Structure 1
Amino acid sequence: MSDQPELFDVTIIGGGPAGMYTAFYSGMRDLKTKLIDANQELGGKMLIYPEKVIWDVGGVTPILCRQLIDQLKRQALTFDPTIVLEEQVVSMDRQEDGTYMLTTASGNKHWTRTVILAIGYGILKMAKLEIEGADRYEITNLHYTVQELEPFRGKHVLISGGGDSAVDWANALEPVAERVTVVHRREEFGGHEKNIALMKASSVHVRTPFTVYQLHSSGGARIEEVTIRHADTGETECFAVDAVIVNHGMRSDFGPVRDWGLDMGEWNVNVSEKLETNLPGVFAAGDFVSYGSKVRLIAGAFTDAVLALNSAKLYIDPEAPKAAYVSSHNERFKEKNKALGSLE
């Protein structure tokens, strides 16, 4: 067919840490690679928390999320994969020859021998504060994510939530804001133990089990006071605030992915230890996958990427080596090492 799109060896759907590292490792294995993402830029879920400090990536000292995104982007582009942004894949159809034709919401077609799904939890939307009229403050001082810390300097900040994000923002804002109050509907927090202990040992005011009950504004443009209510007794407290940050988690929507014939649970796709899905030639990596020894860290996403890509390589060429040579012995880096001035 004259309008048949170009055939790629691997097409990665999703541009978060798993997708970006898959693109890099696919280049190490000398595969013709394409990455498709629905967002305007690469980064995936990490784009929501650009000022969050990441501590748990091997060999990387504490780094801002936006800086880690930049480094992952540069690494992903090492072998010049084709990157397609602002395109949501809505169908995945297996052809008679075993290849796949992907179709996006705009009608564009993408042809590929294998597919690696790195879509995380699908399209994510922040869970909103369920108080009537709260949305009118979103243009002023009601926030669902924090892009920069500096605007909160010297302010009275209330954070509603009890997961990792709420705890992380409390710790990040504690030395910046005049006062940080964390309101959580349960006594126990759901974040990492060390970060919770750090928050509780600091000057952060922790109010549990409370929920945000009312938002008050004399002029209607900004939240000036907040009333919180005890989850058990109904007791209320009211205090002045300069800003409210809501971290009630995110709602996930996999959209048409559930219609592709994948063996999926509520939040994940089930895969083998080799990151194979139940569909031939379709593999998965990152938060989207579920298997016995799955590690839900960014570092774990990198391992998933390697396993999924190696499986894709062997699917295309069963006689290929089971894994790429390490970078110090990989021919694909020879010229790049010269450009860096490395010794041969």
Structure 2
Amino acid sequence: MKESSLELYDVTIIGGGPAGMYAAFYSGMRDMKTKLIEANDRLGGRLLIYPEKMIWDVGGVGPILCEDLTAQLVKQAGTFEPTFVFNEQVEDFKRLEDGTILLTTASGQQHWTKTVIMAIGYGIRKLAKLEIEGADRYEVSNLFYTVQELEGFRDKRVLISGGGDSAVDWANELTPLAKSVTVVHRREEFGGHERNVLKMKQSSAVIKTPYVVDKLHSDSGEAIEQVTITHVETGETEQIEVDAVIVSHGMRTDFGPVRDWGLNLGQWWIDVNTKLETNIPGVFAAGDFVNYDSKVRLIAGTFTDAVLAVNSAKLYIDPSAERVAYVSSHNSRFKEKNRALGVSVEEE
């Protein structure tokens, strides 16, 4: 059954990851009527995959578990009470005669908005699975595609397959806990941040490159007991005893129907200008979805993207508006909230 909301919003944000959440907060600072549509059943985006990863690189925030940072971002996103819509994937985009935009979701819900901020990351995310026949049977025992609880790997022989940020991070997190950690990567070079890669190489983790996981062995048929790895150049094989296997081969992504909207999309992202404008008027973008010359691919950088996109959306609606929001110490939107916190507010 089709559902519709007759309300017209100033901005509709597609995507509830860090960029989308901060855009929802900052658009409140700009006194914009805001809606956020998320395909998942909750906010968090890609952060939900790594709840126990330790994050160090957000300005002004000490080392913090990913799940705790996510909780803070979720709380902040709701500061100005935007409308949240969950479990809905936006499929269709249409410009109406009066210039407003009609978004339609897969279920038939319709949403009217003056502007759109796309914070969809790398699109529809699916974990890249281990391409070995029968591997899926071990997903209920000791084959993992993400780490939910580090403690579950204490005193175990862990093999990690992958060479990106997540694989390197898990190796560093698990080395102090596990009996042994072996990292298998198909290339000599790792794709993680340099400091983290160096830490891994200086730890007790055993690094096997350039190798790939080739076979999984189990006498019981219930859990993986040995893994055969193969050298990608010589074909030499080696068998490793394991208690747990973590596969971190990244994400397979798909932008789906968004590719039919007329956006100038590349394979991984969309090119935007310094105002975070796309090639469609009134449609802006932020976060991992965007690319521009000075793009910073950190959570901290995604917050700046969100601010720039919201400011551009505000000026698109009202060219006479201030270019940026007043800082929180001088922004009238925070007066009542400061009073609620018991903070004295200087009246104008």
TM-score computed with the length of structure 2 as normaliser: 0.97
Amino acid at match of 2:79: T
Amino acid at match of 1:317: D
Would you say how many aligned residue pairs link Structure 1 and Structure 2? 343
Q: Which residue of 2 aligns with 1:71?
A: 72
Which 5+ residue runs of structure 2 have no aligned equivalent?
none
Deviation at 1:343, TM superposition (A): 3.1
Q: Which residue of 1 aligns with 2:162?
A: 161
Post-superposition CA distance 1:283-336 (Å, at most 9, x none): 100010111111111111000000000000011111110000000000000111
Q: Which residue of 2 aligns with 1:333?
A: 334
Identity %: 72
Structure 1 residue 123 corresponds to structure 2 residue 124: yes
Amino acid at match of 2:299: I
Amino acid at match of 1:138: E
SS in structure 1 at match of 2:216: strand
Point out the more displaced range, 17-26 or 183-192.
183-192
Residues 295 and 301 in structure 2, CA contact (< 8 A), matched pair in contact too: yes
Q: Which residue of 2 aligns with 1:196?
A: 197
| 1:146-225 superposed matches below 5 A | 146-225=147-226
Structure 1 residue 143 corresponds to structure 2 residue 149: no
Amino acid at match of 1:279: I
Q: Which residue of 2 aligns with 1:133?
A: 134
Structure 1 residue 321 corresponds to structure 2 residue 322: yes
Deviation at 1:4, TM superposition (A): 6.0
Distance 1:37 1:109 in 2: 14
Residues 18 and 303 in structure 2, CA contact (< 8 A), matched pair in contact too: yes
Post-superposition CA distance 1:136-176 (Å, at most 9, x none): 11111101111110111111100000111100000011111
TM-score computed with the length of structure 1 as normaliser: 0.98
Residues 146 and 248 in structure 2, CA contact (< 8 A), matched pair in contact too: yes
Which consecutive segments of 4 or more residues in structure 1 shift more than 2 A? none
SS in structure 1 at match of 2:84: strand
Amino acid at match of 2:300: A
Which 5+ residue runs of structure 1 have no aligned equivalent?
none
Deviation at 1:179, TM superposition (A): 0.7
Distance 1:5 1:101 in 2: 11
SS in structure 1 at match of 2:22: helix
Q: Which residue of 1 aligns with 2:265?
A: 264
Distance 2:185 2:283 in 1: 41
Q: Which residue of 2 aligns with 1:20?
A: 21
Amino acid at match of 2:237: T
Post-superposition CA distance 1:174-225 (Å, at most 9, x none): 1111111101111111111100110011111111111111100011111011
Distance 1:294 1:233 in 2: 39
Distance 2:149 2:193 in 1: 22
Post-superposition CA distance 1:254-291 (Å, at most 9, x none): 00000001111111112111001111111100010111
Deviation at 1:236, TM superposition (A): 1.2
Deviation at 1:23, TM superposition (A): 0.1
Distance 1:215 1:5 in 2: 55
Distance 1:92 1:294 in 2: 26
Q: CA RMSD in A?
A: 1.1
Point out the more displaced range, 231-240 or 255-264.
231-240
Residues 5 and 111 in structure 2, CA contact (< 8 A), matched pair in contact too: no
